[in-house]
Structure 1
Amino acid sequence: MLREGVNRWLANIKDLAKLAGVSVTAISQVLNNHPYVSKGKRAV
């Protein structure tokens, strides 16, 4: 669920995963610069 911040909405990792059509794990790996994430998945 999106949470209201100071004059803006803040997305959490579940929101990002849902919007990108990937898993929460994939989002976490991209954010942590995991070496096994494909360039295609990073581009999403």
Structure 2
Amino acid sequence: MSYKDTVQKILDVIGGEKNVNRVTHCVTRLRLELKDENVVN
């Protein structure tokens, strides 16, 4: 699976790009601050 495919799958389950307030990362984690957590599948 490519990085592009992985990103699209993540966006699909979190309600899309418009539901993201902020993204941060470290070596082992991707942290997402979402506008509406109830949209997450």
TM-score, normalised to structure 2, is: 0.33
Decide which structure has greater strand share: 2
Q: Which structure ranks higher in relative contact order (CA pairs < 8 Å, sequence separation ≥ 6)?
A: 2
Whichever of the two has the greater Rg, that structure is 1
TM-score, normalised to structure 1, is: 0.31
